[in-house]
Amino acid sequence: MTIFMPRHDFHVSIAQVDYKQQSLQMTLRVFTEDLEDRLEEQSGLDLDLGTPTEHEKAPELIAEYLREVLAFEADGMELPMRYIGLEVEYELSYLYLEFPCVEPPKELLVRNQIFFDSFEDQSNIVNVKVGEELRSAFLSPGEGETILEF
């Protein structure tokens, strides 16, 4: 009998993005379990993220997946993505990324579709700070990208 008890799953990711030193610097917070399950399912590997036995291919797989689901377009130009690394703190994982962008964006298209292919109720919040201005995007399978104006 496993029909009734709700699983208390919280399918959420939250990203903090700061425009600094001519780039959008992103910390993306995800649940470690969600990330590991998604990547292991695709690759068939045992990844052990954030442990001493982490698979050597893990960074490559993470970067590849992030390139699939994440993107920024600043004033119509798609920004290149640089994956910096991963920090695992128990249930939470912090993914660090950088998107070089010479001028501070005025109109920023934000796409974050991470785990949309895992959960139909996934919600991704992306908070972006340019100068003193803070904007926030709420992305879900119904709306996978949105435009923020600064």
Q: Which stretches of the chain bind another protein, using CB under 8 A? A: 1-2, 4-10, 12-14, 16, 27, 29, 31, 89, 91-92, 121, 123, 125, 127, 134-138
Q: Rounded distance, CA 122 to CA 148, Å?
A: 20
Shortest separation between residue 69's beta carbon and another protein, angstroms: 18
Q: Rounded distance, CA 146 to CA 93, Å?
A: 24
Shortest separation between residue 36's beta carbon and another protein, angstroms: 16
Shortest separation between residue 22's beta carbon and another protein, angstroms: 22
**Closer CB to another protein, residue 45 or residue 134?**
134
Q: Rounded distance, CA 33 to CA 61, Å?
A: 15
C-alpha distances out from residue 6 to 9, 10, 57, Å: 8, 11, 35
